[in-house]
Amino acid sequence: MTTAVRERAVFTVDAFHRGNFWLVQPRDAGHRAGMDALMLAAAVPSDFRGHLADFGAGAGAAGLAAASRCPEATVTLVEQSPEMADCARQTLAHEGNAHLASRVSLLEADVTLAGKARAAAGLADNSCDFVIMNPPFNTSRDRATPDDLRRQAHVMEDGLFERWLRSAAAVVRPRGGLALIARPQSLPQILAALAGRFGSAEIMPIHPRAEAAAIRIVLRARRAARGALALCPPLVLHEHGHKLSPRADAVSNGRASLFGD
């Protein structure tokens, strides 16, 4: 999935999608992208050709993965942290991303802003066709850490899903798409925040192994749609030991979409 190459003391440069794009990431602080970002990006339909916003983009993994798999998509990486936005900026400047850079931009903004403040920050209403998000969904007990940058990326605050999904509903055009990844225990808060905003939701559980409980859910929905909630067959990550299943390998390396489209 990733190949790490040291660039200098505080960063690594990591190849994703078998070298089709590269990520500059902090080595010892903040959030380092992995399977979650790739599963999230794979929720975007393969034939998507509109404008996509990656909320809380970090160094840009999910947004670049979507751009890598969808050659006619344009992407805005939205990141609040100056440190992670700097990583995203270096990522976009990396020579291994030259074939994607013209379709991907960076916006330093807080996705929890509302109304005129959100628009003034660059997140205009009805400006996107799809939003993806990997919000901080762990409790402080799950991810206790002295690193403030890592805490911001991982630890959930009260009302987080309500604020993030409020903004997504504002910037996505009617019938536009939403995808997010979270822990299964966050599903009640997510569904409550979706109500009246997004519908026709599809939920895919992600299991580490067939006999183990789901560790993640990926949810996909459409703005102002009214279709019923659907629970999809799960994705099982590992079949034998630590080896990825063929489907998980294809999805994580940009060879297949998560929902089969």
Q: Give the CATH number for residue 110.
A: 3.40.50.150
Inside any domain, residue 223: yes
Average pLDDT, the chain: 91
Give the domain extent around 164. 33-252
Bridge partners for 220 per DSSP? 179, 202
Inside any domain, residue 8: no
The Cα–Cα gap between 87 and 249 comes to 26
Determine the number of helices (DSSP H) and then strands (DSSP E) in the chain: 9, 14
Inside any domain, residue 261: no
The region that residue 159 occupies, defined by phi over 0 for left and psi between -120 and 50 for alpha, beta otherwise, is left
- pTM for this model (two decimals): 0.89
Inside any domain, residue 24: no
Inside any domain, residue 40: yes
Inside any domain, residue 51: yes
Inside any domain, residue 227: yes
Domain total of the chain = 1
Lowest model confidence (mean pLDDT) among 18-32, 91-105, 143-157, 241-255? 143-157
Inside any domain, residue 147: yes
Each residue's pLDDT tens digit, 14-55: 999 999 999 999 987 677 889 999 999 999 999 999 999 999
pLDDT of 63 > 90? The answer is yes
The Cα–Cα gap between 177 and 47 comes to 13
Each residue's pLDDT tens digit, 172-208: 999 999 999 999 999 999 999 999 999 999 999 999 9
